[in-house]
Chains A and B, each alone.
Chain A
Amino acid sequence: MAMKDEGNALWSIFGYLLSGMLFWGGVGYGLDKWLNQGYFLLIGLLLGIGAAIYLVWLRFGRD
């Protein structure tokens, strides 16, 4: 069962980081286009990564 958890964690972390960046980065990109600004993409990406890391901690970090 230990191997299962490790394998699961590895792929889940990758997936969370990717979808965090995709979703919130996408939202930031959309805001940039809409409001004609240039910094929302960066904020979105950072927010997405942060949220994804938090999610990873929630699932695998705490007992």
Chain B
Amino acid sequence: MRSLFRLSGEGEGFVPPSSNDFELPPVFGDNAFTTKPIFLVFLSVILVSVFFLLSSRKAAVVPSKLQFAGESIYSFVRNDLGRDIIGHEFMRFVPYLFTLFTFVLTNNIFGIVPFLQFPTMSRVSFPYVLAVFTFVVFHYVGIRKQGIVKYLKDIMFMPGVPKPVYVLLTPIELATFFLVRPLTLSLRLFANMFAGHLLLLVFILGGEHLFQGVLGLKLISPFAFAFGIGLTFFEFMVQCLQAYIFTLLTALYIAGALADEH
């Protein structure tokens, strides 16, 4: 029975991709700070900076293709994520939102760029740090705008509720604002990138493994590869969507902190 499940000829079973595939060894030396995700982060910073420097350097009334691309992304973040959600004070936050969006987007797309092929955000520490930034920003903004007492009071006490009910509701409000928000923000991004990368690994490594099997399995392997390619396009969509959602939620939290009541 066992031999039925044994796919390859050399008698070695298929090793399914697992979370071990995300723990990459250091590129050089014996240092945990020289792993691939770290270099990808630096690369993304360089790429984003160079792209937007080039696209805005020779700004002209009739834009070049590069300028047009850069300005499209900028105006998307400024108008759809900044102005429409935060309201009249939005310009202060556009630099943060714009940096966040382009940074997350670039790092996500690394997951399907040939030879890089690793979404940085599938290592959970990176989304954690980004969520901490957003956490600090929206609480700071709220406290600056309304004063710490009023800000906390607004969070903790929903108006129009009989007093004893606050025992029930206040812990939930506090947990939402100080724990669940940053946690869901980072874990959503992490889990999507992690699962997407794993999915691609399954289909492409699986296809490769099938190809080494007997003739019948060789015939199946192109379908696995085709699925892998199809999923790569699907992943591209997910990667853009997650970068968008991360920035959208940051904008929503800032808007919530700026609003007078909740």
- A residues in contact (CB < 8 Å) with B: 3-4, 7-8, 11-12, 14-16, 18-20, 22-24, 47-48, 51-52, 54-55, 58-59, 62
* Cα–Cα, bound, A52→B173 (Å): 9
B4 in the interface (beta carbon within 8 A): no
Majority-rule SS of B interface residues: helix
Identify the 8 closest CB pairs spanning chains A and B, nearest first: A19-B175, A19-B180, A19-B176, A51-B168, A23-B175, A20-B172, A23-B171, A15-B176
Report Cα–Cα, A55/B160, bound state, in Å. Answer: 11
Q: Give which listed residue, A7, A8, A11, A55, contacts B172 with CB less than 8 A.
A: A55
- Give the CA-CA distance A8 to B161 in the complex, in Å: 22
Instruction: Output the least CB separation between A57 and chain B (Å).
Output: 10
Q: Which residue of chain B lies nearest to A47 when distances are taken between CB atoms in the complex? A: B168
A19 to B84, CA, bound (A): 28
Interface set, chain B 223-250, CB cutoff 8 A to A: 248-249
Kindly provide the distance from the CB of B252 to the nearest chain A CB, expressed in whole angstroms.
5
The residue in chain A whose Cβ has the minimal distance to the Cβ of B181 is: A15
Instruction: List chain B residues, Cβ under 8 A from A48.
Output: 172
Residues of A contacting B160 in the complex (Cβ-Cβ under 8 angstroms): 58, 62
A58 near B84 with CB under 8 A, answer no
CA A4 to CA B248, docked complex, whole Å: 10
Q: Is the CB of B84 within 8 A of A51?
A: no
9 A-B pairs besides A7-B248, A22-B175 with CB distance below 8 A are: A8-B256, A11-B252, A12-B176, A15-B176, A15-B184, A23-B175, A51-B169, A51-B172, A58-B158
The verdict on B163 contacting chain A, using a C-beta distance below 8 Å, is no
Q: Are B169 and A54 in contact (CB under 8 A)?
A: yes
Complex Cα distance A12/B168, Å?
18
Q: Which residue of B lies closest to A59 (CB)?
A: B262
